[in-house]
Amino acid sequence: MKFNVPADVPAKRVALYKKNLKEATNGTNHLMLFAGDQKVEHLNNDFYGKDIPLEDNSPEHMFKIASKAKVGVFATQFGLISRYGRDYKNIPYLVKLNSKTNLVPYDEIDPYSEAWLSVDEIVNFKKESGLDIKGVGYTLYLGGANEHAMLSQAAKIVHEAHKNGMICVLWIYPKGKFVKDEHDAHLIAGAAGVGAALGADFIKLKVPYTKKGKFNAKLLQEVTMAAGRSGVLCEGGAKIDEKVFLQELYEQKSIGGSRGNGTGRNIHQREFKEAVKMANAIYAITCENATVKEALKLLK
């Protein structure tokens, strides 16, 4: 697999960039991102309640899963990595640099999420800790009064990551009172184009739906083309039936042209052994070219 190396990766960091990208994607340029940033984004709603195993309430549940399952990267906040990282050094990490809660409705106040730490601080942490940190991630919201600040910060984060041989994933979501349908394919394609303009390696986006709210992988084609050389990761969303989820994932890739996924709840909202199996099934489709039938066998 030939990897496209961004021109802002210095010559002395090209080998490291290729190594991080190759290892994170199993040499396929497709990324299976295990999303573990919801402790802030959704507070405790995703970790405690009906039909959620009690073990999911502990942050360590996600680390246990990521240490035993096949994942491209485990994306979570710096603080969690610093608290659990020494016990889980085998995990490939992606440090989520910013997060915000969902307490304030998006149509009340335009969302703004500033980075908690700099890329340089993550680079130093990687050196001091010896942890396998493949890259960084950042969320920005389009459509509000604060988008200019987040766009500027995102551009600098992507550039700083590349300067240090790291990959960068941008979560890009149009939000606010001017956004009527977050799952509109044309709008999501616009967000993908923004991610490409920012130089992201991968862009985590909403899944486009039809006007009737139905999944249709063909709608992704506009999105993935608009992303150019940046890979589109479809968000995992709320927990659904395993077979339905894996079928949609397969169609996102084979029909829509996505280059991966960012899945959280459909993995960690299961007891440990089942969560590991689900993560392996997702990885198989994403990075091992497995069929849905082959992936389902991994759940048995």
Q: Is 167 helix (H, G, I), strand (E, B) or coil?
A: strand
Query: Cα separation of 122 and 105, whole Å?
Result: 31
Mean pLDDT of the chain: 97
Phi-psi region of 295 (alpha: psi -120 to 50; beta: other; left: phi over 0): alpha
Indicate if 106 belongs to the active site: no
Q: What is the pLDDT of residues 113-160, one digit of tens each?
A: 999 999 999 999 999 999 999 999 999 999 999 999 999 999 999 999
Query: Cα separation of 153 and 272, whole Å?
Result: 37
Q: Choosing from 204, 239, 253, 277, which is the catalytic residue?
A: 204
Query: Cα separation of 218 and 144, whole Å?
Result: 29
pLDDT for the residue 18: 97
Per-domain residue ranges of the chain: 11-297
Indicate if 173 belongs to the active site: yes
> Is the model's pLDDT at 2 over the cut of 80?
no
Domain 11-297, what architecture?
Alpha-Beta Barrel (3.20)
Q: Choosing from 106, 141, 173, 250, which is the catalytic residue?
A: 173
> Is the model's pLDDT at 219 over the cut of 80?
yes
Closest CA to 275 of 266, 284, 286: 266
pLDDT for the residue 3: 83
Q: Is 231 helix (H, G, I), strand (E, B) or coil?
A: strand
Please give the structure tokens belonging to residue 204.
Answer: 């985590």
Q: What is the pLDDT of residues 22-39, one digit of tens each?
A: 999 999 999 999 999 999
> Is the model's pLDDT at 63 over the cut of 80?
yes
